[in-house]
Amino acid sequence: MQLPSCLQHQRKKSIFFLQTETSFNRDYASNYSLTIANQNSSVNLDLVVSRRISDPVWNLLTMHMTFAKENAWSKIMSFDLNFCELLQQSKTPGFQLLGVWMNNVRKYGELPRECPIREGHYTWRNFKIDKNSIPNFVAKGYYRLGVLMYIRRNDQREMLMNSTVDLMVKNK
């Protein structure tokens, strides 16, 4: 797979995980945890889906940034994506960056490859954000990533899982 232009000829960066928070809906999962490992260079994720999820699953992905380690976070991007469509589109040409990110996630553990999402135990061990998957526009600083997985019901969001990860990006 050829890398998209935003990933070519870039300065090497290092990512350090600083803090994680998770919550989950016990109607759909019996466990969801995200822990920092390997001297802040990776995370471990455990998810036990307790029943099949047949409705389309959506992801609200947000990224906030601050230049100092403080609580003044500025949102720099937000995407609300149909996770089931995302699984399919990551395989198609024209979605190289998305494909790079999905391959990065799959390298460290199980990720459903299609919907519906089946019940089972999903794990990611020593998950790292590969240096070649960090776009050039990501500057050094502190970031807060949010991932809300949910089902849309009658114009409402029924939360499945929610994660917040604080991390630091450094130039090498």
What is the structure's pLDDT at 96?
63
Determine the Cα angle at 127 with ends 105 and 7, to 5°.
60
**Residues in a beta bridge with 122:** 47
Could you tell me how many helices (H) and strands (E) the chain has, helices first? 2, 8
Residues shown for the chain: 172
Question: Would you state the structure tokens that stand for residue 72, as one six-digit string?
Answer: 């003044």
Q: Kindly report, residue by residue over 30-88, the tens digit of the pLDDT.
A: 999 999 999 999 999 999 999 999 999 999 999 999 977 667 899 999 989 898 887 77
At 105, list the tokens: 């996630």
pLDDT of res. 94: 56
- Count of C-beta atoms within a 10 Å radius of residue 49: 21
Residue 166 contacts residue 142 (beta carbons within 8 Å): yes
- Quote the pTM value: 0.83
CATH code of the domain occupying 13-171: 2.70.220
What is the Cα gyration radius of the chain?
16
pLDDT attached to residue 5 = 52
Burial class from Cβ neighbours inside 10 Å (0-12, 13-18, 19+) for residue 129 reads buried
Among the listed residues 168, 115, 119, the one whose alpha carbon sits nearest the alpha carbon of residue 139: 168
pLDDT in tens, 116-155: 999 999 999 999 987 777 777 788 999 999 999 999 988 8
